[in-house]
Structure 1
Amino acid sequence: MATTISPTCFICIPMIILSSLYPITTLCATVLEDLKNLHKPQDFNTTIFNNCLKNPSLRYCNSSPMIDLDDIFKHTIVASHLCNESNNPNCVESFPKIDLRNRPNIASLYLSFTFFWKYCPLSILSIDFSNNSVKGSFPNDVLYCTQIQSLDLSLNEFSGEIPIENFSPLTNLTFLNLSYNCFSESEVPDSQFFKKFNSSSFLHSGALIDHKKFTIKAIILLVGFPILVILMVIFLAWLCFQRPDFLPRIFHSRFKFTPAILKAATYGFSKENLVGKSDIVHIYKGVLRDGTEVKIEMYWDDISRDSYHKFVEECKILSELDHKNLVKFLGWCKGRKFRAIITEWTKDENVEMWLLREAPSWNHRVKVLMGVVECMLYLHDEWPEVDYDLKTSSVLLSDNHEPLISRFQVGDRNNIRKKICKFGVFLLEMILNKSIKEEFDGNDAGFLSYMRTLHHAELQHMIDERMDLNETTLHQVKQALSLGLMCIDQSNNEHPSLAQIFNIVSKAYKANLVKGHKRVQFR
């Protein structure tokens, strides 16, 4: 027998059908279980069509395209549950409201039932989904209930735009609350839709322009933007003048370091990075931002402006030096209370330490002498104004035992005699026993004066016995002694030129490349 449905109460469909299948008092399954397990009664289709004939205004009767009977049946199941969940007084007779406020566990579920909202019962006049923290876009399906008078979606997390055009069919809607959501600001906040409801409908919804916030934003923009520009200019200026190493290399000031760069390279001039100290100079090991290890000589002396300009000019000259036997000059720095010279970092071993520890052969000593003479010739030809220190304690050694002159400065162009004398002392120190130099306890003037009193035969007995000499190398050593004596001799104005020194040393260097000479023990 077909069941008839009242044209004024669509909810009667689910309740009558379900009551004919199961006693209502025992209905305890969830809506999802019912949707999964219940099946349409045999006369369900007939009931639907009969009701449409009696009342064509029913929503499901006018659905397009063809009526989906499965969706209508699922709709009746959802309606029965939703009516009870909303605490309607008599779901068999009336379904006036949907009230799921403060029901976050099931609110999203019922909003997802598109088939229910598509056939929304005409009896529903109020819908309340407030305070459920529901996320996502505006629930457009709810607007299928065009007859409603009240809609409350406040206190959720809906986002995106409000579909204003979809509200036009809701002619009976008199109460709307979309407050406390995350909607996008409306492009037409002065439209008739917003004028129909007062501002309390959209409090903190994000849909309306907050004029107070707009004023604050405008003030922040007008005041904050210039301040931001000024701060950026100040920051860029600080980078340019204090930490240019953070900028692309094209913006770097070549050879000019800042105190901030040196402070960062030495971890705040820490004691761990301090490798040498005197009353005037502190020597630090530092690491630049690009990983280069450097030696920083900081001179704590207050010099005049003119002296500083002279210092800078000297540094510019030193920065042009380029030879494999010179410690590479990297730049300089001027602080409030110091000036600094920055060079490449080399290991601490010098020629004096090398001679004591390893007792190198004459071949190795000649190689060092060759590097020193080549560097002297380069400086004499290219930079005659550059002076340098040629002590065995100041000439360093690279990893492959190349000599590195580490102490140099701009001096007198006409001091070639002095430079040759220094080389003579250096040459004698390379050949003679170290005990002779040690007797003078670092007094270079005394050592030099003593050497000038000795004859060539006397010097031969002072040759470093640790060298394993053969006939050829012994002859070379004697020639080197004669050269050293000529370099330090001040009895006349005649002294060997750098070219002559280079020829003598280079011949010995080339001769020692030939192997197989008979070795003899020198006494």
Structure 2
Amino acid sequence: MMDLDEIFKFTIVASHLCNESENPNCVESFPKVDLRNRPNIAPLYLSFSFFWKYCPLTIMSIDLSNNSMKGDFPVDVLHCTQIQSLDLSINAFSGDIPIQSFSSLTNLTFLNLSYNCFSESKLSDSNFFKRFNSSSFLHSGALLDHRRYTLKAIVLLVGFPVLVILMVICLVWLCFQRPDILPRKLQRSTRFTPAILKAATAGFSDKNLVGMSDVVHIYKGILRDGTEVKIEMYLDHIPRESYRNFVEECKVLCKLHHKNLVRVLGWCRSRRFRAIITEWTKEENVEMWLSGSGPPWNQRLKVLKGVVECMRYLHEEWPEVDYELNTSSILLSDNMEPLISRFEVGDQNNRRRKIYRFGVFMLEMILRREVKEEFSGGDAGFVRHMRTLNPAELQQKIDERVKVTETNFHQVRQVLSLGLTCIDQSNHEQPSLAVIFSTMARAYKANLANANHRNISRGEIKGHMHVQT
């Protein structure tokens, strides 16, 4: 039994739809609801859902196409289970199609859901799709677009290999141009590229240029990991064989590790230049240090001892490495450690010359600077003159800033005698590096002991003075 109010509403709504639709078939039988080209009726249809609940059994066709309707699928129309035709095409319906709700529409033979925005689903695999055909769902959004999937498959099959190739090309470029961007395990630790040096020096800018000549430009740079480096860039053109020798020599120098050696980090080879990259150190060398502040004896001993330690390391581990020993080529670190800065792979049979050069270096560390400057013949004239001096004359030429005292007099005389022995080539009994190292170590140890004794004595004196007070 139906409620009288519901029957009344049904009658009014049915008559209004019949009149507004201007359907000639809409007489008493009311067999068809046709709202095509009547968009003003859409709100009416949507607002009276009870009409579909009590859908007249005489309605066999529902046509709501081309009305710009929006929202989910209008499931209320499916209450008209007796209908044979349903057309919802050319609207803007969205969401899922309620496939299960169509099971009660056993008389439905025509369905048109084309040109909507339904959610994509596998309708073609369902029994619902078999009742109709693909023309019922043209551009509805519900069917899988095989062309689109074919396009996706083509893009995947073609695009993925292209992407892999591009990634490989990018990786190869990084390996050869900017290996410093790669993970540390993949980096070549000693070989630098022009791109790395360009990035480290801000494009070889003038503000990073710290020195230059016709052949070499020296830059200060900062690597990607923050390491400060010194870049010696040689602009000379050398034969290919010399390039190979240069690389092999750099490989050897990069293996040197000692606290008194400027560390060689790597090299760079390109068509325009070749470069050696070393750790950055301050530019003060021993010559500047001696002529400036006039360092005391203990600091001079520390420098001499450090140089001998490095010489011994190179002699025992890398005898093929040659190096310069003079006050201008030995730098000083922040904690006053000497750093041999100029070295190369050279002659292995030059032990006597190295000891000779160290002897000259020792004398320069002890004697006044003008003693050597008096000789225009260089080291040879200086050495010949030193051999002619007796002990008293030699002592007068000691740098007064050394401040020879009764405590350190024996150490100064011992080091001075060792230096003269090293430069004496009249016989073939030069001291070995082991003897030189032992002598310098004893002198340095004795100097430290004397310094500690003086500090203790001062402390005792201050303590007695405090007690007396």
Question: TM-score scaled by structure 1?
Answer: 0.69
Matched, 1:501 2:436: yes
Aligned to 1:264: 199
CA distance in 2: counterparts of 1:332 and 1:427, whole angstroms = 33
Equivalent residues of 1:470, 1:517 under 8 A apart: no
User: How far did 1:425 drift?
Assistant: 2.4
Shift of 1:280: 2.0
Identity of aligned residues (%): 53
1:189–1:208 CA contact under 8 A, matched in 2? no
1:409 offset after TM fit, Å?
Answer: 0.7
User: What secondary structure does 1:387 align onto?
Assistant: strand
Tell which deviates more after alignment, 243-252 or 416-425: 243-252
Map of 1:371 onto structure 2: 306
User: How far, CA to CA, are the matches of 1:306 and 1:182 in structure 2?
Assistant: 74
Aligned partner of 2:416 among 481, 503, 520: 481
* SS of alignment partner, residue 204 of structure 2: coil
What RMSD, in angstroms, separates the aligned Cα atoms of the two structures?
4.2
Query: Is 1:220 aligned with 2:152?
Result: no
Equivalent residue number for residue 55 of structure 2: 122
Counterpart for residue 298 of structure 1: 233
* Aligned pairs (5 A) from 1:332-347: 332-347=267-282
Q: Is the 8 A contact 1:366 1:509 kept in 2?
A: yes
Question: What is the CA distance between 1:209 and its match in structure 2?
Answer: 0.9
Q: Within 2, Cα distance between the matches of 1:303 and 1:324?
A: 33
Is residue 55–residue 79 contact of structure 2 (8 Å, CA) maintained in 1?
Answer: yes
Distance 1:429 1:154, change over 3 A: farther
Aligned residues: 430
Cα pair 1:472 1:517 within 8 Å, conserved: no
CA deviations 1:389-434 (Å, max 9, x no partner) are 2222222222222112121111101111221122122222222334
Decide which of 109, 119, 122 is 1:186's aligned counterpart.
122
Distance between the aligned counterparts of 1:182 and 1:341, measured in 2?
68
- Counterpart of 2:381? 449
Match of 1:242 in 2: 177
Match of 1:355 in 2: 290
Equivalence for 1:284:
219
The answer to whether the 8 A contact 2:324-2:340 is kept is: yes
Cα distance in structure 1, aligned partners of 2:51 and 2:330: 95
Report matched runs for 1:376-387 at 5 Å: 376-387=311-322
Closer/same/farther in 2, CA of residues 122 and 200 from structure 1, 3 Å limit: closer
Contact 1:175 1:197 in 2 (8 A): no
Which moved further from structure 2: 421-430 or 363-372? 421-430
Q: Deviations over 1:431-471 (max 9, x none)?
A: 2334455667xx8x625523431325444333222233321
Cα distance change on mapping 1:3 and 1:271 into 2, 3 Å: same
Query: Is contact 1:325-1:404 (8 Å) kept?
Result: yes
Residues in 1 aligned to 2:353 and 2:361: alpha-carbon distance in whole angstroms = 12
1:512 corresponds to which letter in structure 2?
A: N
**Secondary structure of 1:466's aligned partner:** helix
Offset at residue 175 of structure 1 (A): 6.0
How far apart, in 2, do the equivalents of 1:201 and 1:152 lie? 9
Corresponding residue for residue 230 of structure 1: 165
**Cα deviation 1:113-166 (Å, max 9, x = unaligned):** 9x95897452694657975776xxx5575565445834358446x45x544343
Q: 1:426 to 1:185 in 2, by over 3 A?
A: farther
- C-alpha separation in 2, matches of 1:226 and 1:437: 73
CA contact (8 A) 1:371 1:402 kept: yes
Which letter does structure 2 place at the counterpart of 1:424?
G
SS, match of residue 188 in structure 1: helix
Aligned position for 1:151: 88
1:214 Cα deviation from its structure 2 partner: 4.3
CA distance in 1, matches of 2:446, 2:414: 13
Helix, strand or coil at the partner of 2:122: coil
Q: What is residue 417 of structure 1 aligned with on the other side?
A: 352
Taking a change above 3 Å as real, the CA distance of residues 310 and 294 of structure 1, as seen in their structure-2 partners, is same
Is 1:513 matched with 2:455? Answer: no
Q: Would you say the 8 A contact 1:146–1:169 is kept in 2?
A: no
SS of alignment partner, residue 326 of structure 1:
coil
Are residues 279 and 144 of structure 1, via their aligned partners in 2, closer, same or farther at CA, if it must alter by over 3 Å?
Answer: same
- What code does the residue aligned with 1:276 have? G
**CA deviation string 1:276-312 (max 9, x = no partner):** 2222222222233333222222222333332222222
For 2:70 and 2:365, the matched residues in 1 are separated by 88
SS at match of 2:407: helix
- The SS at the match of 1:471 is coil
Q: Quote the offset at 1:339 in angstroms.
A: 2.1
| SS of structure 2 residue aligned to 1:346 | coil
C-alpha separation between the residues in 2 aligned to 1:333 and 1:488?
39
Q: Is the contact between residue 367 and residue 398 of structure 2 (CA under 8 Å) also seen in structure 1?
A: yes
The answer to whether the 8 A contact 1:424-1:487 is kept is yes
Instruction: Indicate the SS of the match to 1:513.
Output: helix
**Structure 1 CA distance, aligned partners of 2:38 and 2:346?**
92
Q: Flag the 1:201–1:280 CA change in 2: closer, same or farther, 3 A.
A: same
Tell me, yes or no, if the aligned pair for 1:431 and 1:463 is still in contact at 8 Å.
yes
Q: Which residue type is aligned with residue 265 of structure 1?
A: A
What are the Cα deviations for residues 238-268 of structure 1, in whole angstroms up to 9, with x where unaligned? 2333333333333333422333333333333
**Residues 507/145 of structure 1: CA separation in 2 closer, same or farther (3 Å cut):** same
1:404-443 map, 5 Å: 404-436=339-371
> Corresponding residue for 1:4?
4
Higher mean Cα deviation, 138-147 or 447-456? 138-147
Deviation at 1:102? 9.2
Secondary structure at the residue paired with 1:284? Answer: strand
Q: Name the structure 2 match of 1:329.
A: 264
Contact 1:183 1:206 in 2 (8 A): yes
Give the TM-score of the pair, scaled to structure 2: 0.76
Cα 1:510/1:265, change in 2 over 3 Å: same
Q: Which piece of structure 1 moves more, 182-191 or 464-473?
A: 182-191
Q: 1:194 to 1:267 in 2, by over 3 A?
A: farther
Amino acid at match of 1:379: L
Deviations 1:50-69 (A, max 9, x none): xxxxxxxxxxxxxxxxxxxx
Does structure 2 retain, via aligned residues, the 8 Å contact 1:452–1:485?
A: no
